[in-house]
Structure 1
Amino acid sequence: MNKNIGGIERIIRIVAGLVLIALAATGTVGWWGWLGLVPLATGLMGWCPPYSLLGINTCKNRNV
């Protein structure tokens, strides 16, 4: 499993995921806020399955 998500995109995914989870936990948004787990997980791992299927790679270092 090679990394296919670059640094800035990883940060954006992690922040967006945490915001969605926090909003869901406080009841500000509905159950769909828990979907923030997906961008959080992909951001932490640095790997996105759909990117792999589509051949997308936003990493600067393509060999990582």
Structure 2
Amino acid sequence: MNTNVGTLDRVLRIAAGLVLIALAATGTVGWWGWLGAVPLATGLFRFCPAYTLLGINTCPVKK
């Protein structure tokens, strides 16, 4: 699994994921807030399957 998520992209994904999960946990938003686990996971693992399919790579380090 190659890294394809850059630093800024990673920070934004983790922040958005945590915000959505927090909103879902407090009942502010509906069940869909738990979908924040997806950007959180892609940010933590630095890999996005959709980026692979689309040929996008925001990571500056080439492996």
Q: TM-score, with normalisation over the residues of structure 2?
A: 0.97
CA RMSD of aligned residues (A): 0.5
Map 1:45-60 to 2 at 5 A. Answer: 45-60=45-60
Offset at 1:29? Answer: 0.3
Aligned to 2:5: 5
After TM superposition, the runs of 4+ consecutive aligned structure 1 residues lying more than 4 A away are none
Offset at 1:54? Answer: 1.1
Percent identity among equivalent residues?
71
Show structure 2 runs of 5+ residues with no match: none
Show structure 1 runs of 5+ residues with no match: none
Paired residue total: 63
Q: TM-score, with normalisation over the residues of structure 1?
A: 0.96
Map 1:1-64 to 2 at 5 A. Answer: 1-63=1-63
